[in-house]
Amino acid sequence: MNEQKNMLKAIQALSFALLETGMFLDSHSNNQRALEYFRKNKQAYDTLKQQYTMRYGALTMGEAAGDTWTWVNMPWPWQNETEA
């Protein structure tokens, strides 16, 4: 698997961890271990997402920036290679 796919999978895993931990914290708001776990994963998520965006472009339209609109120059989801 190439580096771009590895980074994307790691971003997805961190996103899932943040979502699940956030839901846990909704009902256990004083759990310090969960809060620290959330903070650690949020920092890793933000860092990795920033690195991905710098190397491969924006993941969402909200991250698209610059003087030109290059969003449409990237491959569409159905143009990516499929994994076996």
In three-state form (DSSP H/G/I as H, E/B as E, the rest C), the secondary structure along the chain is CCHHHHHHHHHHHHHHHHHHHHHHHHHCCCCHHHHHHHHHHHHHHHHHHHHHHHHHCCCCHHHCCCCCCCHHHCCCHHHCCCCC
- Local confidence band at 76 (pLDDT 50, 70, 90 cut-offs): confident
pLDDT at position 11, please? 97
pLDDT for 12:
97
pTM: 0.77
pLDDT tens per residue across span 2-45: 999 999 999 999 999 999 999 999 999 999 999 999 999 999 99
**38 near 25, Cβ under 8 Å?**
yes
Inform me whether the pLDDT recorded for 52 exceeds 50: yes
Q: Is the pLDDT of residue 58 over 60?
A: yes
